[in-house]
Amino acid sequence: MGLYEEIDGFFHPKTIAVIGASSKPGKIGYAVLENLKSYNGKIYPINPKAEKIMGLKCYPDIESVPDTIDMAVIVIRSENTPDTIDKCAKKGVKNIVIISGGFKELGGKYENIEKEVRKRARKYGIRIIGPNCIGVFDPRTGIDTLFEPKWKAQRPSPGNIAILSQSGTYALILMEWAAVDVLGISKLVSYGNKVDVDEADLLEYLKDEPNTDVIGIYMEGISNGRKFFKVAKEVGKVKPIVILRGGRTEKAKRAVKSHTGFLGGGGRIYEAAFKQAGVFIARNLEDLYDIMKALAKQPPAKGRRIAMVSNGAGLMVQAVDAIEDEEMELAELTEKTKETLREHLSPYTVVDNPVDLTGSATEDDYYFTVKTVLEDPNVDIILVFFVLQNAPLEPSVVEKLSQLLPRAKELSKPIIFGAAGGQYTKYVTQEAEKFGFPMYQIPERSVRAAKALYKWGERLQK
Amino acid sequence: MGLYEEIDGFFHPKTIAVIGASSKPGKIGYAVLENLKSYNGKIYPINPKAEKIMGLKCYPDIESVPDTIDMAVIVIRSENTPDTIDKCAKKGVKNIVIISGGFKELGGKYENIEKEVRKRARKYGIRIIGPNCIGVFDPRTGIDTLFEPKWKAQRPSPGNIAILSQSGTYALILMEWAAVDVLGISKLVSYGNKVDVDEADLLEYLKDEPNTDVIGIYMEGISNGRKFFKVAKEVGKVKPIVILRGGRTEKAKRAVKSHTGFLGGGGRIYEAAFKQAGVFIARNLEDLYDIMKALAKQPPAKGRRIAMVSNGAGLMVQAVDAIEDEEMELAELTEKTKETLREHLSPYTVVDNPVDLTGSATEDDYYFTVKTVLEDPNVDIILVFFVLQNAPLEPSVVEKLSQLLPRAKELSKPIIFGAAGGQYTKYVTQEAEKFGFPMYQIPERSVRAAKALYKWGERLQK
């Protein structure tokens, strides 16, 4: 069995044992079982102290289950884990997710327990995700080992971005942001202390995984740098990889050690290696998400020349600052474009780049302007900002503009939206996301998204 | 009449004429009248083409109104503005808000119209806000000249932050973010081309305005730098001022000129002058808002030593990076604190700074830990992060922790929250904001907030 099949096993097991399932609401072993209960496979709770949990027959140990077991999810004290792996091996289990913490991150004897787990995984050829993680989620197969109840953590729909994260928290936040934005995901893997499966394995798997187009990673320490950078370079040629590094500073070294047991620091060395591998480096979690969203929704750009349109110029003034900061370019609109706009728009419009449609702008003004600017040979990327709150602007402007998406794709010119406000704006924003426009709250974030699409286009041309 | 009374006149006029009121929904002159209709004062729509608008008797011009008029809101073509000011003067109007654009920002003959407006304002001693703006809003008096309908733009409740903005869009976004966060405001002024009233006037006014504790400003060009920096230095001693500058780069010069008619650029010179004046410099609109929120909700800190508590360590790992980047300090907890925590918490807890309560943490674990750390003499500021989605953590944790706020205030130790996710987390976040905790989505933003409270404390000690 190759790496692809080994890793793929985590996403569609036919039978799952939940070792450490609990009947007490609020316990991690309860939440895991509850989330897995709706998975389309056979679920076997394992707990010597219960007869039944959530209506499912409970077994004292994995050996007593009268069925083969493909995957085990472990939620027990770290001290008992190595023996449990022996039992899983006897039962023929191929994949294990260890949710529990209490391993390498605590140091001392706990570090030895983790070593023992690794030794047995290698011995039996079992693939392990974790420990000290939230495991896996796949909206297509429904596999869900998270210990966050669904009413507390929204699951996104099927989509094309894969989330890999050493931190369970960050995996969760990215997942929920994607759910709120109606941005689907392909796979989520929180791998914690990565006793066995690591980023490199997951990247190699995702390279061939047909539903994944974009890969986002939050990582702290790298265990095998050579392996990782080799794979990242390879995979990054065909699918964009966006990386956020935590614990890069000297001060954070200790914090990383007590989080997932790895060594932090070395920020600049890593950054140079990431750049050489051709991956995108995110500045923070929002930036990681922003870039993934842009890459997932819009085509790569052919150049760095940005045109802007808005009914509120403040946003565009700051976007121009960001264009300078990010070394992008403000497009020079052709005379033909300017003439066409001048003929059609009100005399108070500022026809230049940025195009300021002023507070009186309607949906039609936006449509005409974006349509015209899209055809301008001097323009590679269009940033459209909205003050959706303005009385004259209809919310249907986002649907109207979506009519231009096929043409924009044909020309490979990304269209990126920007808007911010309260409930109403959030609602319209969500609609815009559904139509396929990535939407950002502040102009700096729109420009960062534009830059990623330019850089990805540049990479593909090589 | 002094400056205070002159500016204060904008916020509680007894009678208002809306010159250019429209009967067509979607028009700016309609939206302005609609928003003012619920204001507790007499509203007179002025429009020669209508008899009645929204049930209010309409007058052909301001002279025909059978009442005195305190304030006029102007929504007509720029060309007709100077004559209208003459008429307002005859009627004894003291305050005018010019919403309309089509002035200095367009250059040429339009620039001359603006000069004419200024000349007449000075001649008559009328104070003018605008043109090219959205005007004023005050949740206490109800004055509201915005042209964004209430269903499109949420109004915040009364509070202690004042928003000043050259850009109407930014004023609007800050206002709505404040509404969503249940963070009240004292005054909002969008002043656009500032033909008369400028930032310096408004700052001087706000210095004595009793409801205002924190002032946030978005500005592009400064017309009279000497006046502004003198006033900012003075006001900034008693109330913190946070400034975001747009159009600081060379490229943005032209964009600023066509937005509000001012000259942009000179970023570094301004930055140095801001620093000298002792104001806070925001990096972007989110940062401006974040800092204002922290200053409005939490006490100034006595030092820069930060302690952290969370049930998800990923957030804290990145917070440590941010602490290094922002030149803050990671507190060394006393042995006494550590012992107390070790005695009380589970053996899997990482008792150090940051304190990692792990995914099993409950409300009680949080309460005990924050209470203990709060009393540690080595700690000046506490950052509390939550993975609210985790099964064992009750949402009531935010209410429970609010019991510590009086003690934290007594010690002048700010408590800052961090959490991110989907609908559920947003809901709990909003509850936390209601209790008085400023909440941030990513750790870098929590640390920026902490830094502002430290810097404000430092300033006050001088």
Query: Which chain B residues are closer than 8 Å to A105 by Cβ?
Result: 350
- What mean pLDDT is reported for chain B? 95
**Which residue is listed with tokens 């969008």?**
B190
- In DSSP terms, which residues pair with B241 in a beta bridge? B215
Indicate the average pLDDT of chain A.
Answer: 95
- Residue A169's Cα: distance from chain center in Å? 12
The reply to whether residue A313 touches residue B259, judged by beta carbons under 8 angstroms, is yes
Residue-wise pLDDT for A423-434, tens only, equals 999 999 999 999
Measured between beta carbons, the chain A residues lying within 8 angstroms of B147 are: 359, 390-391
Tell me if residue A244 falls in helix, strand or coil. strand
Nearest CA in chain A to B424: A152
Neighbouring CB atoms inside 10 A of A406's CB total: 9
**Nearest chain B alpha carbon to A26:** B392
In chain A, which residues have their Cβ closer than 8 Å to the Cβ of B387?
148, 168-169, 172
Window from A15-19, A358-362, B303-307 with minimum mean pLDDT = A358-362
CB distance A83 to A90 below 8 Å: no
Amino acid in the structure at residue B105:
E
Single-letter amino acid, residue B83: D
- Name which of A142-156, A174-188, B99-113 the model is least confident about: B99-113
Q: Does A315 touch chain B (CB under 8 A)?
A: yes
Q: Once rounded to an integer, what is the mean pLDDT over residues A366-371? A: 98
Which pair of structure tokens corresponds to residue A86? 């022996």
Q: What is the ipTM of this complex?
A: 0.94
Q: What is the pLDDT, as a whole number, of residue B201?
A: 97
d(CA A130, CA A109): 18
Residue B357: count other Cβ atoms within 10 Å of its Cβ. 30
Residue A52 β-bridge partners: A57
Is it the case that residue B382 has pLDDT exceeding 90? yes
Regarding beta strands A185-190 and A158-165, do their DSSP bridges make them parallel or antiparallel, or are they unpaired?
Answer: parallel
Residue B249 is predicted with a pLDDT of 85
Which of A148, A320, A420 has its CB closest to that of B391?
A148
| Average pLDDT of the residues in B60-66 | 97
CA distance A448 to B79: 40
Distance from CA of B263 to the nearest CA of A (A): 12
Q: Which of A440, A415, A413 is nearest to A429 (CA)?
A: A440
pLDDT at B273: 86
The rounded Cα B364 to chain-centroid distance in angstroms is: 35
Least confident of A197-206, B147-156, B346-355, B432-441: B346-355
- Selection from A321, A385, A316 nearest residue B167 by Cα: A316
**CA nearest to A216, candidates A294, A157, A288:** A288
Nearest CA in chain A to B78: A348
Q: Is A51 on the interface with B (CB under 8 A)?
A: no
Cα Rg of chain A, angstroms: 25
Q: Give A278-306 pLDDT, tens digit per residue.
A: 899 999 999 999 999 999 999 999 999 99
- Report the percent of chain A where pLDDT is more than 70: 100
Chain A, chain B: beta-carbon pairs less than 8 Å apart:
258
Which residue does chain B place closest to A247, by CA atoms? Answer: B317
From B266's Cα to the closest Cα of chain A, the distance in A is: 12
Calpha distance B449→B295 (Å, rounded): 8
User: Which residues in chain A touch residue B390, judged by CB atoms under 8 angstroms apart?
Assistant: 147-148, 152
Q: What is the DSSP string of A360-429?
A: T--HHHHHHHHHHHHT-TT-SEEEEE--TTSTT--TTHHHHHHTTHHHHHHHT--EEEE---SHHHHHHH
| Cα–Cα dist B29/B80, whole Å | 15
Q: What is the pLDDT of residue A228?
A: 93
Tell the residue number behind the tokens 């808007």, with chain if given: A419
Q: Shortest CB distance from A259 goes to which of B154, B286, B317? A: B317
Which pLDDT score, from 0 to 100, does residue A177 have?
98
Query: Average pLDDT, stretch A135-148?
Result: 97
| Reported confidence tier of residue B277, pLDDT bands at 50, 70, 90 | confident
- Nearest one of B343, B348, B357 to B309, comparing CA atoms: B357
Q: Are strands B135-137 and A381-385 parallel, antiparallel or unpaired?
A: unpaired
pLDDT per position as a tens digit, B282-295: 999 999 999 999 99
Check: CB of residue A222 under 8 Å from CB of residue A270: yes
**Model confidence band, residue B75 (pLDDT cutoffs 50, 70, 90):** very high
Q: Which of A180, A264, A442 sits opposite B285 (nearest CB)?
A: A442
pLDDT at B432 (0 to 100): 97
| Alpha-carbon distance A102 to nearest alpha carbon in chain B (angstroms) | 6
Contact B26 A173 (CB under 8 A): no
Which residues on neighbouring strands pair with residue A41, listed in sequence order? none
Which has more confidence, B94 or B226?
B94
Q: What value does the mean pLDDT take over residues A305-316?
A: 94
Measure the CA–CA gap between B152 and A179, rounded to whole angstroms: 24
**Residues in chain B, total:** 462
- A123-158 as b/e, with b when 16 or more CB fall inside 10 Å? ebebbbbbbbbbbbbbbebbbbbbbbbeebbbbbee
Among A267, A260, A216, A261, CA closest to B321: A267
How many CB atoms sit inside 10 A of residue A250's CB? 14
The pLDDT tens digits for A33-74 are 999 999 999 999 999 999 999 999 999 999 999 999 999 999
At B18 the pLDDT is 98
Instruction: Please determine, for residue A245, whether its predicted confidence score (pLDDT) is greater than 80.
Output: yes
From the CA of A306, how many Å to the nearest CA of chain B? 13
pLDDT of residue A449: 98
Task: Name the residue in chain B with its Cα closest to that of A179.
Answer: B422
Query: What is the rounded average pLDDT of the residues B45-52?
Result: 96
Percentage of chain A beyond pLDDT 90 is: 87
Q: Which of A136, A173, A180 is CA-nearest to residue A157?
A: A180
Inter-chain CB proximity B247 and A286 less than 8 Å: no
Q: Is A37 on the interface with B (CB under 8 A)?
A: no
Q: What's the pLDDT at B254? A: 77
Indicate the pLDDT class of residue A266, thresholds 50, 70 and 90.
confident
Which string of DSSP letters, residue by residue, matches A341-377?
HHHHS-TTSB-SSSEE--TT--HHHHHHHHHHHHT-T
Q: Residue window 124-153, chain B: list those with CB within 8 Å of chain A.
A: 147-149, 151-153
Joined tokens for residue A100: 């529990």
Q: Which residue has the higher pLDDT, A266 or B24?
A: B24
pLDDT higher than threshold 90 for residue A176 = yes
Q: What is the pLDDT of residues B136-168, one digit of tens each?
A: 999 999 999 999 999 999 999 999 999 999 999
B153, B250, B251 ranked by CB distance to A389: nearest: B153
Mutate: best of A151, A321, A363, A442, partner B, most B CBs <10 A: A321
Give how far A18 is from chain B: nearest CA, Å.
16
Closest among A149, A132, A70 to A98, alpha carbons compared: A132
Which residues from A are below 8 Å from B170, CB to CB?
Answer: 314-315
Whether the bond between A300 and the residue before it is cis, its omega within 30 degrees of 0, is no
Is A108 touching B (CB cutoff 8 A)?
A: no
From B326's Cα to the closest Cα of chain A, the distance in A is 12
CB-CB contact of A204 with A6 (8 Å):
no
| Contact criterion met (CB < 8 Å) for B28 and A169 | no
The residue with greater pLDDT, A271 or A246, is A246
Distance CA A32, CA A56 (A): 14
B320: which chain A residues are within 8 Å (Cβ-Cβ)? 247, 249, 251-252, 255
The verdict on B176 touching A (C-beta cutoff 8 Å) is: yes
Q: What angle do CA A412, A414, A415 make, to 5 degrees?
A: 140
Rounded to two decimals, the pTM is 0.95
- Residues 6 or more apart whose CB falls under 8 angstroms from that of A310 comprise A316, A354, A355, A356, A357, A384, A385, A386, A387, A418
Q: What is the mean pLDDT of residues B430-449?
A: 97
**Angstrom distance (rounded) from CA A460 to CA A295:** 13
B314 touches chain A (CB under 8 A): yes
Query: pLDDT tens-digit profile of B186-244?
Result: 999 999 999 999 999 999 999 999 999 999 999 988 878 889 999 999 999 999 999 99
Interchain pair A259, B314: CB under 8 A: yes
Considering only A207-211, A342-346, B347-351, which range has the smallest mean pLDDT? B347-351
pLDDT of residue B289: 98
Q: For residues B373 and B354, what is the distance between their CA atoms, to the nearest angstrom?
A: 11
Of all residues in chain B, what percent carry a pLDDT higher than 90?
Answer: 87
Query: B interface mutation test: which of A22, A250, A390 has the most B CBs within 10 A?
Result: A390
